[in-house]
């Protein structure tokens, strides 16, 4: 389940094949990379919660937690039949867009349905998060568009021109 080199280049902002999902900023020591997520500055010892800020073993650990949630909560409770109008890939973790959407959905679920959440958290999660994310993922032109039941197909990369140096 390791992410591809292209995916890691994408999320690390190295500029290989695709731009970073977030604009790079000057880091301490002169290196350039993705900016820290909002609210992380000054939080000693804290790390960003979103999976796209991680790589290597930490990414794998977070992906395992996400897969456990997808397999044991999301799919049993919310999966609907796969059709040509509502796609799903059994190897969803091979689609960076799906990983990002599902991880955001997982984080919202944790925040909105836990013991410290408001009484209407679950209703808000269903209405504001679950429907839009599943609709986007399962859309015929979404990340699973080329996949068939039991058969994954990598998406063709979107061409991107490199920003010329000034």
Per-residue pLDDT at 164: 93
74 in Cβ contact with 114 (< 8 Å): no
CA-CA distance, 136 to 132, in Å (whole number)? 6
Lowest mean pLDDT across 37-41, 58-62, 100-104, 128-132: 37-41
pLDDT in tens, 11-42: 444 333 333 344 444 445 554 455 555 454 44
Residues 6+ apart with CB under 8 A from 99: 51, 52, 63, 66, 92, 93
42 Rama sector, left if φ>0, alpha if ψ -120 to 50, beta otherwise: left
- In whole angstroms, give the CA distance from residue 47 to residue 36: 9
- pLDDT at residue 28, as a whole number: 52
Q: How confident is the model at residue 157 (pLDDT cuts 50, 70, 90)?
A: confident
Q: What are the Cα distances from residue 86, in Å, to 79, 93, 129?
A: 10, 18, 17
Q: Where are the domains of the chain?
A: 5-23+47-138
State the pLDDT at residue 22.
Answer: 40
Which two structure tokens, joined as six digits, stand for 149? 């039941």
What is the distance between the terminal CA atoms of the chain, rounded to a whole angstrom?
39
Q: Looking at residue 166, what is its pLDDT?
A: 85
pLDDT at 142 over 70: yes
């Amino acid at each position: 389940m390791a992410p591809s080199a292209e995916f890691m280049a994408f999320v690390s902002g190295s500029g290989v094949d695709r731009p970073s999902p977030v604009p790079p900023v000057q880091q301490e020591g002169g290196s350039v990379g993705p900016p820290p997520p909002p609210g992380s500055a000054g939080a000693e010892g804290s790390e960003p919660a979103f999976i796209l800020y991680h790589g290597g073993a930490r990414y794998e650990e977070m992906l395992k937690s996400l897969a456990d949630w997808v397999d044991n909560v999301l799919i049993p409770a919310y999966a609907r039949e796969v059709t040509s109008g509502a796609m799903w890939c059994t190897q969803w973790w091979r689609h960076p867009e799906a990983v990002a959407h599902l991880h955001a959905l997982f984080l919202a679920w944790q925040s909105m349905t836990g013991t410290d959440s408001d009484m209407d958290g679950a209703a808000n999660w269903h209405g504001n998060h679950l429907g839009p994310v599943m609709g986007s993922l399962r859309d015929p032109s979404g990340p699973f568009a080329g996949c068939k039941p039991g058969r994954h197909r990598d998406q063709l990369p979107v061409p991107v021109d490199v920003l010329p140096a000034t």
